[in-house]
Chains A and B, each alone.
Chain A
Amino acid sequence: MTAASAGFGAARARTRRSLLREGARRHPRALFGAVAAALAALAVLAVGFGTVAIAPETTMAIVLHRVLGLETGATWSAASETIVWDLRIPRVLTAAMVGAALAVAGATFQGLLRNPLADPYVLGTASGAALGAAVALLIPVRIVVVEFGLVHAFAFVGALLAITVVYRLSRLSAWSGMTSLLLTGYAVGSLLAAGLAMAMYLSGATLRQIFAFLLGGFEAATWPRLAIALPLVVFGTAGILWRARVLNGLMLGEEAAAHLGVDVRRERAILLALGSLVTAAAVAVSGLIGFVGLVVPHVIRLVVGPSARAVLPLSIVVGACLLVLADLGARLLGDIPVGVVSALVGAPFFLFLLRRAQSGYEL
């Protein structure tokens, strides 16, 4: 009797879960709303916590004062205001922006290349950005333009140059298409990595700076840097979202996409450019942060299915959530690299989802 009812209960729970999954598949908008609310809650939490303890009401009063000009009668020290307004808020917003950018770029590259192992860095952008940053650090003069230092500028340019070279070279190949693009990206990436290794060998005391860039992080987040990177990310992301249907077409294969009326060559170039722009902007402000761009789109496909029209918007919010959470963890654990935390939190969750996945998907 009891065993039977327990079995029945389990069956009911299973049904409820599959209903939930069905719900998620049918109503990605509701899921998007839920995740967006979670992101907002996480952001509030991330602004509230840090190395220095600041009372929640003080944090609130500072934010109200700076955003709305409201006076709540509360008083606080100049140090608290600096910590909340100049250090934490730009940092949390930057983490959210970078998480969103990398996840959306990862989803784009995976769909475009029809390769589940693709991530925003697969076509040489990472090596290009890292080499750019290393070269900037080897230049002895320090030039700072509106707080956007040489390192960030060179990383941005390096990423875009790398992808441009890869794209151009891949088109010279006899067999055009995704395989050629991937292999060219790998070859150019290896070449740039060799350059990076040489730069690190020559770097002397700047080695740790290069190393910090390779690990990635948000310590360097400031309002001006956010203000420069955000428009690029918003522009690129909006462009990708606009082309979600094209991406769905491309995922069916070149021929099928062409039959659907997609100008394959042109659309692929545009999506590649937008994805790279978003990646380059993210990398320039945060250094190389792995995992997010590779795994977040897969997590979402496991839950809602492969349609880019659902995967892209959800990638934005889930990617943002993951990095805001990972950065909060990294700060509370004594400023350890954020990539370490995101992988530690995300990888087991991903394995759990993989184990429970009832239906797979093909890219």
Chain B
Amino acid sequence: MDASLPRSIPRSRFGTLLAAVVLAAAAAGCGTPQSTRITPQPGATTSALPPSTATPDPSPSPAFPVTLVDDEGTEVEITTEPERIVSLTPATTEILFALGVGDHIVGRVEDITLFPPEAGPIPEVAGFGTVNVEAIVGLEPDLVIAGGNFFTPPDGIERLRSVGLTVLVVYAPDVETVFADIELTGRAVGRADEALALADAIRAEFDAVATAASDLARPRVFYELDATGAIYGPADASFLAEMIALAGGDPITTGSPDAFEIPLERLIAADPEVILLGDAAYGVTADAVAARAGWNVMTAVRDGAIRPTEDVIITRPGPRLGEGLRSLALAIHPDLDLPAEGGG
């Protein structure tokens, strides 16, 4: 029955892989998320403050009640400013803390690479692909922010709504939607201005990387998600492929809009010039890659261009995405001349 699950991948690792798959799931793939585009209010923000210094002033009162359209196209009405929030995606937890409403979170999803550390004491009410409806109802939240594209089980979302809770579903298949989701989350929790500032700050980092990498050659990059059994890398037009392109690389993809498995033959034929190890956190090293049978014909292996990455900040659609893109660009172009962090 469970024959098609790769058993050789340890469980926690498989969870991470799935998370990566979910987070980076193909834009062209399952479902058609209608992401909300919120028109920036003119003059609302001009100073692109780094998230850490954004001060959470209470927004002016007319922000509520508000009706928002979430990433699944559902109209969600939020009557008053939420004070008890349940965050069901790790990115949402990070966004809420960056917006200064971390202390309003009463329950959160499990996050094996916990960030920020302040989220630690908040009770876990969901895991990867699971959700404890009873625990969430017991917390009496006034807003639940869930993950779309099956990150939070759709049945669970339906259950939470059927017992009268307000559920906003976010799902970012591409970089633009990450900005939209930050702004959507900001409006939902009464921090619209801070959210615009945060999105602008990340945009500024993206621009800085794009400018710095614009004149450089674009090496063929293979980003390895996992290779304990089959080899997993970015699908065509996936979030991860988009990030690699933005960081000044030419992504080698699986050739499928939504499958993340790549045959070794295809990888050899594509001949990566740089191999990035998204699985470095699990102990995969450049030496181990070079020792794999058949890999030594690749340019990256012969040149020794195999580098570790910090996978979480590159693949998580949260406030650290700008930092993630910088680290990705530096992994692709080690001598890239980037201006100091914060776009300044």
Contact = CB atoms under 8 A, between A and B. Distances in A.
B129 A212 contact: yes
Given A196-B1, A204-B259, A211-B5, A51 B138 contact: yes
Given A205-B25, A207-B18, A208-B150, A149 B155 contact: yes
A201 B4 contact: yes
A178 B22 CA distance: 46
Nearest to B148: A205
Interface in B239-296: 258-259
Contacts of B139: 79
A52 B135 contact: yes
Contact of A205 (B3, B21, B138): B21
Contacts of B162: 86, 147, 222
B1 A52 contact: no
Contact of B159 (A206, A207, A208, A222): A222
A87 B159 CA distance: 9
A231 B291 CA distance: 62
Contacts of A201: 4
A87 B137 contact: yes
A220 interface: yes
Contact of B130 (A86, A144, A331, A335): A335
Given A86-B162, A140-B31, 10 more contacts: A51-B138, A52-B137, A88-B134, A126-B1, A196-B4, A197-B3, A204-B258, A205-B150, A219-B156, A331-B134
Interface string B13-35: 00000100110011001111000
Nearest to A201: B4
Contacts, number: 98
SS class, residues of chain B in contact with chain A: loop
A6 B31 CA distance: 73
Interface magnitude class on chain B = 35 or more
Contacts of A214: 1-2
B158 A144 contact: yes
B128 A208 contact: yes
A82 B150 contact: no
Contacts of B22: 205
Interface in B115-144: 128-135, 137-140
B100 interface: no
Interface string A209-226: 101101000011010000
A222 B133 CA distance: 12
B154 interface: yes
Contacts of B43: none
B24 to A, nearest CB: 10
A130 interface: yes
Contact of A204 (B21, B134, B156): B21
B30 A142 contact: no
A196 B3 CA distance: 10
A156 to B, nearest CB: 16
A331 B134 CA distance: 10
Interface string B197-209: 0000000000000
Nearest to B131: A219
A321 to B, nearest CB: 22
B158 A83 contact: no
B89 interface: no
